[in-house]
Amino acid sequence: MAEFVSLEVAEDIGTIRITRPPVNALNLQSHAELRTAARAASENADVAAVIVYGGEKVFAAGDDIKELAELDPAQVASMAADLQAALGCIATIPKPTVAAISNYALGGGLEVALGADRRIVGDNVKLGLPEILLGVIPGGGGTQRLARLIGPSNAKDLIFTGRFVDADEALLIGLVDQVVAPDEVYNAARTWAEQFVGGPARALAAAKVSIDVGLAGDLVTGLELEQRQFAALFETADAAIGLRSFLDNGPGKAKFTGE
């Protein structure tokens, strides 16, 4: 039974909930439970989309520094790949994902959120990767995902200085996608996720992998990936349903099965 990270499913929306009071600091056990929850959300056919949420008080205020300080260099070297995989596990979910962020998402907490397809925040948030202030750098994918999201110059500014950004600046630089009142964060995330309930699950997964994997390489390789994904979808039941529904009833009325 998970202690700090759970997956709750309601009306075809999965919520990965981080609960480790007082500030949801992510320890090694949390890392393992995050990976388990992400895997469960990926494999559960009843989950159409996923929300990552830390509750009303805080999303996650980084890794457990006390625990990290007790590790020696050899231990850190041996666990670095697991750390990166854990904090980046939301990116492996082949479904639409959204991080619902209240108050603080710092360090490893922000790295978890960077793995989501979309980030919705309260207007009171503080976001940052302050690892440089500890004499280290982000190790959970932050240097790579942040630079790809907001560009290398903005990413270097945030990582080099370790400073926090508020909601307005985060929206301006593209770090977040929507700002709402603090008590509306989860509801706004759920409204976004609900669009995909009853949607063409395999086409959504194909679109996601085409974008994410395509951006990791050059344009020619990305276009080749898109070709393969596009062609493969014509073997699915949803494509047959969608095409026939368009011809019979016009756009936007298909009843997909996810197959």
Catalytic residues, by residue number, are 111, 131
Cα 46 to Cα 258: distance, rounded to the nearest angstrom: 10
- The H or E element containing residue 5 is strand 5-10
With beta carbons less than 8 A apart as the criterion, state whether 190 and 51 touch.
Answer: yes
Residue 65: alpha-carbon gap to chain centroid: 23
Q: What are the backbone angles phi and psi of residue 15, rounded to the nearest 5°? A: -120, 115
Q: Which amino acid would we find at residue 13? A: I
With beta carbons less than 8 A apart as the criterion, state whether 129 and 159 touch.
Answer: yes
- Closest Cα partner for 110 from 147, 138, 151? 138
